[in-house]
Amino acid sequence: MGKAGYKVVISGAYYKEKTFPSLNDYLNEVGTNPKVGGKLKGQYMMIANNAIRRSLKRWKPKGRITLHYRFYEPKGGQVRDHMNVFSFFDKVFQDSLVKLQVIKNDSPDYVDGNQITHKFYYTSKAPYVEVEIEEIE
């Protein structure tokens, strides 16, 4: 961890055999009906909200943050496009941080996007995502 860090873990197969859908999965849903896309995003925001509340309690950073994502996808089976997986998850996670008032908003004033990292690993156990929130200022 960096200067000051907190970890949020979202564990389980909430979307088929994966933890979260990818951006392509989300766009396919939106293509069928925009309301379905909103419902899907809301469903995954609730999962993220619960994990954030459980892990961070009432912690709020004193300055800007950056995020370090570690995705543990199912070993074997289909390997998904990393940027599609990361993109949807990052959007939902940052929106959850704002909704729960951990950060004021997800602009560069509060989240340093230049330092965000995402790494992928494969596991034979249940899929999960670890997010390390690093306070950088």
Compute the half-sphere exposure of residue 56: CA atoms within 13 Å on the CB side of its CA: 26
* CATH number where 88 lies: 3.30.1330.70
- Distance in angstroms (rounded) separating the CA atoms of residues 11 and 13: 7
Per-residue pLDDT, 8: 98
Confidence grade of residue 72 (pLDDT, cut at 50, 70, 90): very high
Per-residue pLDDT, 38: 87
Domain range for 31 is 4-135
Helix (H) or strand (E) holding 85: helix 82-99
Number of domains in the chain: 1
What 8-state DSSP symbol labels residue 57? T
Helices (H) and strands (E) in the chain, counts: 3, 4
Q: Give per-residue pLDDT as tens, 75-125.
A: 987 789 999 999 999 999 999 999 999 999 999 999 999 999 999 999 999
